[in-house]
Amino acid sequence: MPARLPRPNCALIHPAAADWAAGPGFTLVDPATEAEVAEIPVCGTADVDSAVAKAKAFSRQLALGAVQLDPLEILERLIAEIEARQAAFAEAVAREMGAPLDFATDKQVGTALAHLHTILKAARENPSEQATPPGQESHFVRHEPLGVAALITPWNWPLNQVALKVGAALAAGCTMILKPSEYATRSALLFAECMEAAGAPEGLFALLSGDGRTGAALAAHPGVDVISFTGSTSVGRAIAAAAGANLTPCLLELGGKSANILFADCDVDTAVTQGLAHCFRNAGQSCNAASRMLVAREIYAEVCARATTEAETYRFDSPLKPGGHQGPLVNHAQFDHVQAAIRKAQSQGARLLTGGPGRADGHNKGFYPRPTVFADVTPEMALFHEEAFGPVLSLTPFDGEEDAIALANESAYGLAGYIQTGSRETAMRVARQLEVGMVQINGQSRVEGAPFGGRKASGYGREAGLWGIRAFQTVKSISGV
């Protein structure tokens, strides 16, 4: 049994220092070596009760004005603390979930910081109280904090998701309880240290270490006023049910099986290169991965050949090495899930172009998958509908615009959509008909502060910028003043 992870000297972390070494634990495994490296404590109901009680009491003090605290000053200092520890965060992310150091630095940590800057800017530019409509001084609309916010975050983009939720909840004026994924505990503990260094007092923020049992107890707690969860659709359904029992508003950012539509007039080389990157980056472990490539039949053979060549340029190696390679999947269960998805696609008749089951070349241990591309994937196959959550791309031909839209929408999910075409009119016409929360055209990135979220089995609610802040606030109308 590995030793328990040392507890940071931070008052914002639960359980208490005296209890950190005792009680049930969860074993952390290095995804690159499969070695057991540490154990973390699993917070129980008593820890959840204590954290909620402190957050509730502090929330009341804030509402009464008994505590003088500027959330935006704390947010500004938090950004500075994370920037000062960027290398430490990147190493923590690399070790805990396998993202290579360069990618962890530029994307995992860099994107988190960008979101925090955007949230801070949005909060400063959009007051919580204003006359509505402008000039109608006898009527005000207030955006008030909902209260105690339960924030349950995943392992695939650990700091990024923590930043989106904590930054928005803090700017909204809420008190916060963070339950990070057990697989991403190291980066979350470092984040808690940054919160304390930024001036967050006990009661404003708390971190609960633990597994799904801890998250379930937090989501079901009647003292929680709003829940924000990012993770699997199955867990999201359970959290929604728990929230419904208490009539607790919640934001759910769940799974996806996003379609990438390549029309015959697209730039094939660029579309395939970007399409593979949108599917394979972060070892395919992204909810908005462009994992279904729908291709106009006129260019289908060309795209199949080009996708095969491009996929074979991807390399998997140690996350602690510099370079543009991919790292391992997060854990054994995820590796087995990807292997099962590949084998099932083969058994159902999908045509394997490259990759397949097994470990990536050069690896006999570690959770390194093979970059895999399947052609001729039909809606009757599981791979068309189910998340592999790994570097597995499916190719499906379509005949005409209506067929492309129908195939794209033939999914329980509705997170993201991608369109590649030389026609702006086609792009806009198709984008309006996709049953998703976000559409990106010809590789264009979302602008800062754009709403992130989906519909159908991908959940509901939006994160990022002002959209994220308002998710943690309630609206109050005041007339006659």
Alpha-carbon torsion, ordered 74, 75, 80, 85, to 10 deg? 100
In terms of DSSP H, where are the helices of 233-381?
A: 233-246, 268-280, 300-311, 332-347
Alpha-carbon torsion, ordered 282, 284, 289, 294, to 10 deg? 140
In terms of DSSP H, where are the helices of 30-152?
A: 45-64, 71-84, 86-97, 101-103, 110-125
> Of how many residues is the chain composed?
481
Residues 249 and 232: their CA atoms lie apart, in Å, by: 18
Q: Which residues contact 209 (CB under 8 A, 6 or more apart)?
A: 13, 14, 15, 40, 41, 42, 43, 180, 182, 185, 188, 189
Cβ contact 154:161 at 8 Å: yes
Cβ contact 304:353 at 8 Å: yes
User: Which of the following is catalytic: 96, 253, 386, 387?
Assistant: 253
Listed residue (51, 372, 95) closest to 224, CA to CA: 51
Cβ contact 326:293 at 8 Å: no
Helices 158-172 and 71-84: crossing angle in degrees, nearest 10, is 160
Residues 444 and 313: their CA atoms lie apart, in Å, by: 23
Alpha-carbon torsion, ordered 247, 412, 356, 277, to 10 deg? -80
User: Which of the following is catalytic: 194, 279, 287, 304?
Assistant: 287
Three-state SS at 271:
helix
Residues 308 and 312: their CA atoms lie apart, in Å, by: 6
Q: What are the φ and ψ backbone dihedral angles of 52, each rounded to 5 degrees?
A: -65, -40
**In which element (H, E) is residue 286 found?**
none
Listed residue (289, 317, 313, 314) closest to 394, CA to CA: 289
Residues 314 and 378: their CA atoms lie apart, in Å, by: 25
Residues 476 and 111: their CA atoms lie apart, in Å, by: 33
Q: Which residue(s) pair with 440 in the sheet?
A: 418
In the chain, the amino acid numbered 387 is E
Q: Is 253 a catalytic residue?
A: yes
Listed residue (130, 122, 125, 168) closest to 149, CA to CA: 168
Tell me which residues are annotated as active site. 253, 287
